[in-house]
Structures are given as structure tokens and as C-alpha cells.
Amino acid sequence: MNKYKLICEYDGTGFSGWQAQKNAKSVQGAIIDAAGKFLGAPAEVQGAGRTDAGVHALGQVAHLETARKINPEALRIGINDLLPASINILSVQSAHPRFHARHSAISRSYLYLIAKRRTALAKKYVWWIKDDLDIGRMRQALAVFQGFHDFASFADKRMDKNASTQVDVEDVVLQEFPNLIVIRVAGSHFLWKMVRRIVGMAVEAGRANLRTGDLEQMLHDHSDIPARHTAPPSGLYLEKVLYEGDKLPDIQPPVFLR
């Protein structure tokens, strides 16, 4: 079998998420279908991580396995020609047989975009908040989440009950631009809806509805407050999947909100 590493971007609007599902439109399913049609043979595609319905990606990584040996650039062009416009393969390269998009990854980073103004062009790609948020309070709130914690209060109830809810959040950064607030959360892995609930709590802190002590308590005792303030999927992006030797890029706002 031949293995290839794919890096792709997608607009998650209208998709049930990354993971292929029966009777649902998924990003993984679309890539599998396009690859199979182009190659004329079945192809296995595994992603570095799942994204929820409506969540976008700037740099999702997947590996593709096929019996057919093909030039990586020809594979990229061929698959793209058969994909919907909302999914784009940015690059393809030959991968080591032991490379695994998920298991070989050492870290993942997500960006969340909060618009400070009403926007006609970016409604599907940001969370517009009318309130005047206190950035200092938001930064203090986000600092609470950095480090190794039990994020049971921030995980969706439909998550596997046997799965660990302990997560090492390596970095949390808030960067402010004239029309945009960008929050980056980086860590080894994330629980279902965890990042959106972290953002939701940071926003509540920015509204002066929560104190850092409230958030610290949520990390020690189960609370359903984060679930009630889950940020919408429209503003969330899988920014980058990091492998040995990779570094995070500088945070750049999208052109339409600079």
C-alpha cells in the first residue's frame, strides 16, 4: 500500500462534521468519494481529529492509503477537481508507511474568531457579539484553563463515558485586532465541544458575569454552566495539527475583518 499525507482546508457550514457518517454529509466522506473516483480504486482516508458540525479547518491533516502509486501533486489536483468548492486539498506528499495522521500528531491548535462589528461577508465564519467585552477579564479567564485539568464540565454529555476528561492545554492566547478577537487554544487533544465552551466562558467573563474563581470551581466540580454558554460552531477553526519539529504560525486575522 502507498501512503500520502494530505493537508486540507474546508468550510464546515452544511457538513455534519469531519467524520464519515451514514446518511449525513461529511468532509471525510467527500474526500473518500473523490479519491476513489479519481484513483479508480478504494482509498482509505483517516483524519488527525474530528471537527463538529459547522466547524471549519485551516489545516486539517489526513493520511490516504491506496494500492495505486501516483505523483503527489497529480493526486492533489485530481482529488480537488472532484471535491465541492467548500473543501480544498492544500498539499499532498508521500508519507512514511508508519505515519498516522492522528497517532503521529503531538499537538493541535484551534482558533476562535469573535467579530466586534456586524459583518455581511463573514457571518458564517465568526461569532458576532454586540456587547463591549472586557479583554482583560477574558485573558484572566483563559489563563485558568492553561495546564493539565479535568475538563468534565466542558465536555458534551454524549461523549464516551469511559473516555478520560483530563486534558493538557499547552497554550491559550487572546489577540485583539481592530474588528476581531482571536482566541487560540493549543493542546495534545480536545474533548467534544470543549474549545467552544472554553470560549463561551471567556465571553461570559468578558461580560463581567463570571469570575476566575467560578471557572476554577468548574474545573474541580461538575457544572452544567459551560454547556449553557457553548459558543456557536461558526467561529471555530482547526488551525494546525503539529508533528515533531512543527511550530505554530503567527496569528493573522482574515482579510475581510482587518
pLDDT of 197-218, one tens digit each?
999 999 999 999 999 899 999 9
**Strands 236-242 and 56-66, sheet pairing:** parallel
135: CB partners within 8 A, 6+ apart: 174, 176, 181, 206
What is the average pLDDT across 18-30?
A: 91
Rounded to two decimals, the pTM is: 0.93
* Alpha carbons 28 and 139: distance in angstroms, whole number: 35
User: Which regions of the chain carry the CATH code 3.30.70.660?
Assistant: 107-245+253-257
Three-class SS of residue 90? strand
* Catalytic residue check, 221: no
pLDDT in tens, 75-129: 999 999 999 999 999 999 999 999 999 999 999 999 999 999 999 889 999 999 9
What's the alpha-carbon Rg for the chain, to the nearest Å? 19
Query: Looking at the domain covering 2-94, what would its CATH class be?
Result: alpha beta
Which residue of the set 11, 33, 52, 250 is catalytic?
52
* Alpha carbons 186 and 197: distance in angstroms, whole number: 14
Query: What is the 3-state composition of the chain as percent helix, strand, coil, each rounded to the nearest 5?
Result: 30, 30, 40
Right CATH for 107-245+253-257 from 3.30.70.660, 1.10.10.10, 3.30.1540.20, 3.40.50.720: 3.30.70.660
User: Which regions of the chain carry the CATH code 3.30.70.580?
Assistant: 2-94
What are 93's strand-pairing partners?
Answer: 5
Question: Which letter does DSSP use for residue 230 in this model?
Answer: P
Max CA distance (Å), the chain: 58
CA nearest neighbour of 12 among 65, 86, 79: 86
